[in-house]
A and B are shown apart, each in its own frame.
Chain A
């Protein structure tokens, strides 16, 4: 999704902003831009203009290209592609004085208005003295835009964002914070904004339902949409909350809020009544090292290989093989009768697998709801426990579902990877997956660790007779080494991936526990290799999709040796009769399978309850190498964003 970064400090801000934008590249974007406040400079005629101004550089494309449009940055040759658009100079200007220590930057993932230079952020007011970057969606932008146009404001983009600088201009009388406050009172929708004004040495930042953090440095401070953007410079951050407005300068941070506490009705957001608040500073346990590629060709491959370690981190301190116990800090309140898992995308696949496991081990009714379809009317509210699963903890649909569940009186639990993220403040209890930062857009280690977390939760609520059975805790204990075993065999998967990469369509089929695994495998393949892939419960195939089978549509089948094995063989025979190629994922030592399929990807033997972990890793490798064979941009797939923070 869009990325925001701003700098206020003693250093020259352009190189810092560009570097930080690169750290945000993984979120997915189509255009980018930066605005800096320039204290004074020589005009072309050599006169010094003492009034501070704002210069904006923006363009469609990559951050690396944008850097070329800064002739004044040392070591970067002027490419002349981007031009300043501050309305005063038509050509790039070489700064005669050191640049400014105040600036904002943005990577855009288009929602309102096509991908174009004029739609790229930052956006300016009519005077060119107020610049804004924004994440989120302004719902009433059309009416505001009409109103402002009637008042004589001139718009130069199709974006919803542009109404914000014009609204601020409308209210500006020398008090920037006041003008921002009043402007935001007119706005409906979601936002994280940072405002830069030529006449002020402070940035104004505000958020509502879009993430925004402040990074605290020494004589420098940062504002960003994402911790990864500031990790280069600091690990001390403050998470802003909904309704917060922050003033950030080189040496100070002050935050005011118009919310009195959790669960305040939305209507209060329209008031102008702000009070100073203290927000707790947090130290991020991630190192920049973790957010670097470290010799790997792609982040995705690095993260696939990090999975054994990530699983160890998730398990750490929670299991005892000798006692056969799982100990978590999550309490199940008495009287809860059913569980609803809400999630989006890959997280919802983890939820679907957990649905089987919880159902099997805990004898509790459990359902999965895609977060955007979450609807509380259908359930017994006070007795329902809602678990929200979001890697980033900022997925808007999941956040909204958890908020709604709370207002309806449900108990809530968040399962997330990011300490301090929004979901941790909305849900009553939190369980961290401890996967570390994930940069590749395609979720890998965060998916596996979510699954570990959900298994741990299921085990912790299982009855003692189930936990006393052989193998459950042992299965968890062995997971890191069994996943490593799949990785050790990665080379064996490459030929199958090469084969798959020649097709334009593929089916993934599974049964039971491994049906959601097939869904995740299909999602991975289409996300990064652009091969159209669909997942079906194997039994469903003959109720329609059979029409699409044939020599040009290979099928990837999960042939795990559990009680679904025999029916799966039947499905495979039916498919073979239609001439499709079948690649099976089957246990080492399963020789029977070979007579029914065209190729076998071998999976180390494991208790079938844990087979989703190993099958998923094999499918990640299959997707990765297929995408690589097709020359796809694996870490930055077209049109996708890492965490989806818009509705």
Chain B
């Protein structure tokens, strides 16, 4: 039997828990180390010889299509199908029915996967679920396995019944479409298949698999991707700038004198950095960003076209595209109790700042605050609680 050459990628989701970023971007397009999460998924598939891709898009689909277009630039051929309402994974899969091969892979567009993890799936003959053993299983579907077959999938169990979780990556035969019916969630479909005597193999992977659910996951993904980069220096680097470790600098970027940059770090195209700016691991800077003199940035994602004023200090933070920050801004890192969609989480975090906001000179953001999109914060303010989209702090 021939190997699988097609993948269906679920890329329609909104990502409720990743607001404010996902108000303007679909979750799969969140930039990690300069590229959207989805690009790493596509690349991992392409490395396994899967070059025909059906992308199920929905929420803010233009951005996905804009970026990936026909797929040619990524060495794959992409066809798009639209899931108008994001009801669930099974509903998303149903949209791809017309374009599916007899055998195909199904992957989530918002997980970073190791290309090696997919390799055994490509030769799978029967329906197969990729599973993984890990410590924290609380936010995943836990899988009960018997004789190498999936017996049951239990979503987010309260008790720790097993430490094997469903990665949401599958190899399927076309017959899966016969079981979709009106189910919304794929795990219900899996249960139905098992109940009707249809075997689903459980294939364990030890490779990397990271999911972006909460804002701090984005920094974890960023760390992971940055740990793999190889150094490449484009643009102009003035005399007196120090660059250590794996640092990638894009075309048209200028690193001015006296900057001190320690990798792993990625700096995009057409940026202006310095003079006298410090960038420490693991930092990603998007295209067209400006970091002004005497600023220090550490373990942070700076989005496209973000302007950071002089003498600012930013750590463990995420700043979304198009935001303007004045001089002497401080985003402090520390233990914080963050409330996401009604749940509290204790994490170490700096600030989370949405797109197109303006932050005045000498403002300070306390650890873990979330500043929305289109916010305006006057000079000298201390932000100690979350600011909703469009919020004013005067």
- Residue ranges of A at the interface with B (Cβ–Cβ < 8 Å): 287-289, 292, 294-296, 302, 305-306, 312, 315-317, 320-322, 474, 477-478, 480-482, 484-485, 487-488, 588, 604
Since A294-B69, A482-B356 are in contact, a sample of 6 more A-B pairs with Cβ atoms closer than 8 Å, ordered by chain A residue number, is A289-B72, A294-B65, A294-B68, A295-B65, A477-B290, A481-B305
Complex Cα distance A480/B287, Å? 10
Asked if B278 is at the interface (CB within 8 A of a chain A CB), the reply is no
* A321 lies within 8 A of B287 (CB): no
Residues of chain B lying within 8 A (CB to CB) of residue A604: 356
With a cutoff of 8 Å between Cβ atoms, the chain A residues found around residue B305 in the complex are: 477-478, 480-481
Whether A295 contacts B69 in the complex (CB less than 8 A), given A312-B287, A316-B269, comes out as: yes
A-B contact pairs, 29 of them (CB 8 A): A288-B72, A289-B70, A289-B72, A292-B70, A295-B68, A295-B70, A295-B78, A302-B66, A305-B66, A306-B66, A316-B269, A317-B270, A321-B290, A321-B292, A322-B292, A478-B305, A478-B322, A480-B288, A480-B304, A481-B304, A481-B305, A481-B321, A481-B322, A481-B355, A482-B322, A485-B322, A485-B355, A485-B356, A487-B62
Q: Which 10 A-B pairs have the closest CB atoms?
A: A294-B69, A481-B322, A295-B65, A481-B305, A289-B72, A316-B252, A295-B80, A317-B252, A316-B270, A321-B290
Residues in A whose Cβ lies below 8 Å from that of B72: 287-289, 292
A326 to chain B, nearest CB (A): 13
Counting CB contacts under 8 A, is B324 at the interface? yes
Task: Choose from B272, B356, B374 the contact partner of A321 (Cβ within 8 Å).
Answer: B272
A482 CB, min distance to chain B CBs, angstroms? 7
Q: A542 to B347: give the CA distance in the assembly, Å.
A: 64
**A305/B288 contact (C-beta < 8 A), A480-B304, A482-B322 known:** no
For the complex, what is the distance from the CA of A317 to the CA of B269, rounded to whole Å? Answer: 10
Partner of B73 from the list A289, A305, A306, A477 (CB cut-off 8 Å) is A289
B307 in contact with A477 (CB, 8 Å): yes
Residue of B nearest to A478 (CB): B305
Q: How many residues of B contact A (CB 8 A)?
A: 34
Taken together as a complex, chains A and B put the C-alpha atoms of A385 and B252 apart, in Å, by 30
| A312→B272 CA distance, assembly (Å) | 13
Interface bits B68-84 vs A (CB < 8 Å: 1, else 0):
11101100001010000
Q: Which residues of A contact B321 (CB under 8 A)?
A: 481, 484
CB distance from B69 to the nearest CB of A (A): 3
Taking CB atoms, residues of chain B closer than 8 Å to A316 are 251-252, 269-270
Chain A residues with CB under 8 Å of B186's CB are none
Decide: A305 and B290 in contact? CB cutoff 8 A. no
Contact A322–B70 (Cβ < 8 Å): no
Residue B254 lies at the interface, judged by CB distance under 8 Å to chain A: yes
| Chain B residues positioned under 8 Å from A294 (CB to CB) | 65-66, 68-70
> Does B24 sit at the interface, judged by CB under 8 A?
yes
CB distance from B323 to the nearest CB of A (A): 8
Enumerate chain A residues within 8 angstroms of B355, measured Cβ to Cβ.
481, 485
Q: How far is the CB of A461 from chain B (nearest CB, A)?
A: 22
Quick one: closest B residue to A488, CB to CB?
B24
Residue among B66, B73, B304 with the highest chain A CB neighbour number at 10 A: B66
Q: Is B27 an interface residue (CB 8 A)?
A: no
A316–B270 Cα distance when bound, in Å, is: 6
Query: Across the two chains, which residue of chain A brings its CB closest to B290?
Result: A321
**Nearest CB to that of A302 among chain B residues?**
B66
Contact between B322 and A484 (Cβ–Cβ < 8 Å)?
yes
On chain B, the residues within 8 Å of A295 by CB distance are 65, 68-70, 78, 80
Closest A residue to B61 by beta carbon equals A295
Query: Which residues on B sit within 8 Å (CB–CB) of A478?
Result: 305, 307, 322, 324
Q: Identify the closest chain B residue to A305 (Cβ).
A: B66
Bound form: Cα–Cα A604–B356 in Å: 9
Q: Which residues of A contact B68 (CB under 8 A)?
A: 294-295
Specify which chain A residues have a CB less than 8 angstroms from the CB of B62 in the assembled complex. 296, 305, 487
Q: Which B-chain residue is minimally distant from A484 (CB atoms)?
A: B322
Beta-carbon contact of A322 and B65 below 8 Å: no
Which chain A residues border B272 with CB–CB below 8 Å?
320-322
Q: Which residues of A contact B78 (CB under 8 A)?
A: 295
Q: Is the CB of B328 closer than 8 A to any CB of chain A?
A: no
Q: Which of B22-81 contact A (CB under 8 A)?
A: 24, 62, 65-66, 68-70, 72-73, 78, 80
Most buried by B among A305, A322, A480: A322
> How far, in Å, is A143 (CB) from chain B's closest CB?
51
Closest CB-CB distance, B268 to chain A, in whole Å? Answer: 10
Name the B residues within 8 Å of A302 (CB-CB). Answer: 66
CB distance from A424 to the nearest CB of B (A): 22
Provide the residues of chain A in CB contact with B322, threshold 8 Å.
Answer: 478, 481-482, 484-485
Give bound CA distance, A330 to B112, whole Å: 46
Distance in angstroms from A590 CB to nearest chain B CB is 14
B254 touches A320 (CB 8 A): yes
How far does the alpha carbon of A480 sit from the alpha carbon of B289 in the complex, in Å? 11
Question: Within the assembled complex, what's the spacing in Å between the Cα atoms of A292 and B72?
Answer: 10
Q: Which residues of chain B are near A306, meaning CB under 8 Å?
A: 66
Q: Bound complex: CA of A287 vs CA of B256, how far in Å?
A: 33
Q: Please, which residues of chain A bring their CB within 8 A of the CB of B374?
A: 588
**Neighbouring B residues of A321 by C-beta, 8 Å:** 272, 290, 292, 307
A545 to B286, CA, bound (A): 49
Q: What residues of B have a CB within 8 angstroms of the CB of A481 in the complex? A: 288, 304-305, 321-322, 355-356
Asked whether B293 is an interface residue with its Cβ less than 8 Å from the other chain, the reply is: yes
Closest-CB distance, B183 to chain A (whole angstroms): 27
B391 to chain A, nearest CB (A): 13
Against A, the Cβ 8 Å flags (1 = close, 0 = not) of B250-273 are 011010100000000000011010
In the bound assembly, the distance between CA atoms of A294 and B73 in angstroms comes to 11
Q: How many angstroms between the C-alpha atoms of A588 and B374 in the bound complex?
A: 10
Choose among B251, B287, B305 the residue with the greatest number of A CB atoms under 10 Å from its CB.
Answer: B305
A306 to B65, CA, bound (A): 11
Minimum CB–CB distance for B203 against chain A, Å: 32
Q: Which B residues are CB-close (under 8 A) to A292?
A: 69-70, 72
> Which chain B residues border A289 with CB–CB below 8 Å?
69-70, 72-73
Q: How far is the CB of B277 from chain A (nearest CB, A)?
A: 10
Contact B73 A312 (CB under 8 A): no
In the assembly, what is the distance between CA of A68 and CA of B358, in Å? Answer: 59
Q: Which residues in B have their C-beta under 8 angstroms from that of A477?
A: 288, 290, 305, 307
Residues of B within 8 A of A484 (CB): 321-322
Nearest-neighbour CB distance to chain B for A444, whole angstroms, equals 14
A610, B65: Cα distance in complex, Å: 28
Give chain A residues whose Cβ lies under 8 Å from the Cβ of B254: 320
Which among A306, A312, A604 has the greatest number of chain B C-beta atoms within 10 A? A312
User: What 0/1 readout, one digit per residue, does chain B (277-313) give for beta carbons within 8 Å of chain A?
Assistant: 0000000000110101100000000001101000000
Q: Which residue of A lies closest to B235 (CB)?
A: A317
Contact B307 A312 (CB under 8 A): no
Inter-chain CA distance A306–B356, complex, in Å, is: 19
- Contact residues in A for B73 (Cβ distance below 8 Å): 287, 289
Other-chain residue from A287, A315, A474 in contact with B270 (beta carbon distance below 8 A): A315
Least CB distance from B249 to A in Å reads: 14
CB closest chain-A residue, reference B291: A322
Residues of A contacting B24 in the complex (Cβ-Cβ under 8 angstroms): 488
Residue of A nearest to B293 (CB): A322
CA of A292 to CA of B305, assembled, Å: 27
Interface pair A474/B307, CB less than 8 Å apart:
yes
Report the Cα distance A604→B307, complex, angstroms.
Answer: 17
Instruction: Give the distance in Å from the alpha carbon of A351 to the alpha carbon of B321 in the complex.
Output: 31
Pick from B69, B256, B288, B324: contact of A312, CB below 8 A: B288
